[in-house]
Structure 1
Amino acid sequence: MTRLLPAAERVATPWKNGGGVTATVASGPAGAGLDDFRWRISLAEVAAAGPFSAFPGIDRHLSVLDGVLRLEVAGRTVTLTVGEPGLAFPGDAAATGTPVGGTVTDCNVMTRRGQARATVLPVHDASVARPEGAILLLLALAPAVLSAGGATYRLDARDALLVDDQPAVTVAGRCLAITVTETGTIRNAPDSRRRPR
């Protein structure tokens, strides 16, 4: 199914540690909470310096959509800006974020270790392939037109398109392409290294 997920329908909730607000874009299984998701994609606002919530057993990927974020994680300091691939790090690691020059909006992709994995890639006027068995979510960074399976979708900034039944999506505009593959799907996928007997 291909589903349009309008930004206007998201509900902001406090961070796990109460230090900011976040809004879920999509999760698996649908409607899962912070304790039972296999994967979760959300947008968060970082208005002041402070620690990020700890998520043991979770792998995270953070991309900045607005502003500049200085992130200290596991003894390393990096500065994340708009248009960069972002940073992957373990949710178990202590992390502190400092917005530089104003409030930051980021896209947070979380996968439960051993149950799912994700890749995150900025795309601009390109076709994005969806690997077999994977879920592809395209988050519009600005107004964009997406085409999949003969249908056309017009997205405003921060709207998203969730695709799990089409082999590819054509993007006219700028999006963040997030591919999520659950472990059962990974395990059952054909292994191209195997040779017929």
Structure 2
Amino acid sequence: MHLLKHRDHRKMPWKNGGGVTYEVAAAPDGAALDAFDWRVSMAQVAAPGPFSAFPGCDRILTVLSGGPMTLRVGDAPARMLDDASTPFAFAADVPCAAETVDTALLDLNVMVRRGRATASVTRHRGVNLRISPRETSTTFVLVKGGTAAINCLPTLMQDGDVLKLAPSDPPVTISPGAEAVLYEIRVTTAQGH
């Protein structure tokens, strides 16, 4: 179990140079943008424009704050995303662009390379979250908009902090403050990777 403080997330330019992203974790650790098996990051989107393409990858995008944003992926109808929208999964190698951005937003991006990993993202509001690590998964819990207490650690999670749980870690309960929203991210690595 490891608490990743928001100030320690690795700041990197977007692959297409259009903005800044904050990498929370990737596998292998420190992998280049064309070599990760999976990657968890947050990005600021301040204006309309294209998203970076990641050949052979799938992405789950979740708006954490700000927005809304109208997103178009390939030839599909545009989707409006905000901080109440269901996390949106799509192929990261299909052309994608933010067509409108009402106010600057922060989003969560979870990307996996097809055949090497799968992922899920679930938003939890106003409930204590009990996490039981799974044998083949790495689990992350991001807190946004407030603080959260972890039953087995003396430190409070602050806005933007992420708790990382390995498969061997014991179950944990995370209790959010009144304004906090918890985001549960599970990344499952394919056998042999």
Query: How does 1:1-197 map onto structure 2 within 5 Å?
Result: 2-67=1-66, 68-75=68-75, 76-124=77-125, 125-141=128-144, 142-147=146-151, 150-164=152-166, 165-173=168-176, 174-184=181-191
Report how far residue 128 of structure 1 moved: 2.6
**Is the CA contact 1:85–1:120 (under 8 Å) kept in the aligned structure 2?**
no
Aligned residue identity for 2:150: L
**Count of aligned pairs:** 183
Report how far residue 90 of structure 1 moved: 0.3
Report how far residue 29 of structure 1 moved: 1.2
Deviations 1:66-117 (A, max 9, x none): 1111111122210111133210000111100145321111000000000000
Aligned residue identity for 1:107: L
Q: Which moved more, 1:73-82 or 1:40-49?
A: 73-82
Structure showing greater Rg: 1
Q: Which moved more, 1:107-116 or 1:72-81?
A: 72-81
1:71–1:144 CA distance, 2 compared to 1 (3 A): same
What is the TM-score when the length of structure 2 is the normalising length? 0.88
What is the TM-score when the length of structure 1 is the normalising length? 0.87
Unaligned runs of 5+ in 2: none
**Is the CA contact 1:133–1:181 (under 8 Å) kept in the aligned structure 2?**
yes
Q: Which moved more, 1:79-88 or 1:45-54?
A: 79-88
Deviations 1:47-82 (A, max 9, x none): 110000011100100000111111111222101111
> For residues 36 and 5 of structure 1, what CA distance do their matches in structure 2 show?
22
- Indicate the SS of the match to 1:109: strand
Pairwise CA RMSD: 1.7
> For residues 136 and 168 of structure 1, what CA distance do their matches in structure 2 show?
11
1:171–1:60 CA distance, 2 compared to 1 (3 A): same
**Is the CA contact 2:48–2:101 (under 8 Å) kept in the aligned structure 1?**
no
- Indicate the SS of the match to 1:184: coil
- Indicate the SS of the match to 2:191: helix
**Matching residue of 1:194:** none
Report how far residue 126 of structure 1 moved: 2.3
**Is the CA contact 1:70–1:79 (under 8 Å) kept in the aligned structure 2?**
yes
Q: Give the share of equivalent positions with the same residue, in percent.
A: 37
